[in-house]
A and B are shown apart, each in its own frame.
Chain A
Amino acid sequence: MKIVYFASLRRQLGIAEEVVAPPPDIETVRQLLAWLGDRSQTHLQALAGQSRLMVAINQDYAGLESRVAAGDEIAFFPPVTGG
């Protein structure tokens, strides 16, 4: 599973992407976030510190209860500000 980060979140974490292999009982975005936070204090602070964390699965917007699977590309980012 590939996880990508953008904007302020990428800067806070110091990485743009990482490949992770969460255990099979991690089935939702919410569980994945908790798992990432348990593994690293930096992740916990950066992810929990977002007032409105956005998530995309395979480049489509998703929610905290959306299902995640091994081959997915999961993106976390702050609210978008283009245009």
Chain B
Amino acid sequence: MAEGSVRLWVGSEDFDPGAELDRLAAGDQTIGALASFIGLVRGAADHVTAMTLEHYPGMTEKQIASLIATARQKWRLDRVTVLHRVGRLLPGDRIVFVGVAARHRGDALAACEFLIDWLKTRAPFWKLEEGPDGEHWVAARNEDEEKARLWEKR
């Protein structure tokens, strides 16, 4: 996988998932599989009215680049895109996009799940939720850490 086949971006603007998927496959007919994950701000049931994401500029990119490098060692991948938004978002808004292009679906699907699982526990982002009771910082979930750890056994 060449250097230029990694697209990594952190910013406040929204992204276009369709355009991102097209971009992952464009111009390379050896790619046979695209897998993607999109995370959204969950609203209604959790009574969240808005969410503000902050991050550690520099470390975020460094950690995600390192996760992508690990994924490249584990699976045969052609291209990887990771986009993550920061700032204030509303229920239904897109937060994160992970897209993987590979020759075969097994590599694409596994690498995509690996990347989002590890991103959740390693990339330095924090969520501040707003709801009817005011603001509160989202607590890290043990299940997320355990899910990421499972990859060490695979």
Check: B49 CB closer than 8 A to any chain A CB. Answer: no
Q: Which of B14-22, B104-112, B114-122 contacts A (4 or more CB under 8 A)?
A: B114-122
Tell me whether A82 and B119 are in contact in the complex, defined as CB-CB below 8 angstroms, given that A6-B124, A77-B126 are known contacts.
yes
Check: A60 CB closer than 8 A to any chain B CB. Answer: yes
Contact: B140 with A77, CB < 8 Å?
no
Residues of B within 8 A of A8 (CB): 126, 137
Tell me whether A6 and B116 are in contact in the complex, defined as CB-CB below 8 angstroms, given that A59-B58, A78-B140, A82-B55 are known contacts.
no
Contact: A82 with B140, CB < 8 Å?
no
Check: A52 CB closer than 8 A to any chain B CB. Answer: yes
Contact: A75 with B59, CB < 8 Å?
yes
A-B contacts counted at CB < 8 A amount to 72
Check: B92 CB closer than 8 A to any chain A CB. Answer: no
Check: A7 CB closer than 8 A to any chain B CB. Answer: yes
Chain A residues close to B by CB (< 8 Å): 4, 6-8, 52, 56, 59-61, 75, 77-83
Q: Once the chains are docked, how many angstroms separate the CA of A59 from the CA of B39? A: 25
Contact: B124 with A56, CB < 8 Å?
yes
In chain B, residues 51-69, which have Cβ atoms closer than 8 Å to a Cβ of chain A? 53-56, 58-59, 62-63
Q: Once the chains are docked, how many angstroms separate the CA of A4 from the CA of B128? A: 18
Tell me whether A82 and B126 are in contact in the complex, defined as CB-CB below 8 angstroms, given that A6-B54, A8-B137, A52-B140 are known contacts.
yes
Contact: B137 with A82, CB < 8 Å?
no
